[in-house]
Amino acid sequence: MRKKLTAILLAPLLSASAAVADIAPDPGYVRQAANLVLESDADLSGYRFFLESPMKVEEIVIASGAPTVIEASGRGGATRFGKLIAVPLTDMRDISGSLLEQHLREKKFPNARQLLSHNFQATIPESERSGWRDPAYRISVADGVITA
């Protein structure tokens, strides 16, 4: 009896995960990989940059004077969404490894700033596919405030 009850209660929960699976775009639209392009002429040496997704946190090195491209390939599921976070070096001191990821997720860096949110997959009209360009963001520092 207990096994039947458990099965009855678990069946809707397990089928709910299939309901939120990846769904094809509406007719006339296509999915397009959207690389993240970062540009900057500013001195960014006082910051470290991290791309935080629900699955992982990865450090990003942004080159000054040349575009930095973060590829969309291989970023499926929860890693297709990311937030770019800038953390001043003065906030980081001796923190590294898993403790660094924990501090980022728990927002324990007082001066960290989320610069942007990015989806590595875009849904666009089929007619715009041939002219598609990856979104580009300019990172700048003005009066000690970093923005994108």
What pLDDT score does 145 carry? 85
What pLDDT score does 4 carry? 61
What pLDDT score does 18 carry? 47
CA distance 15 to 10: 9
pTM of the model as a whole: 0.78
Beta strand ranges found along 61-148 (DSSP E): 68-70, 81-88, 113-119, 121-125, 136-138, 140-142, 145-147
Residues of the chain with pLDDT under 70: 1-22
What pLDDT score does 131 carry? 92
Q: Which amino acid is at 99?
A: L
Q: Tell me: the pLDDT tens digits for 38-47?
A: 999 888 989 9
What pLDDT score does 1 carry? 63
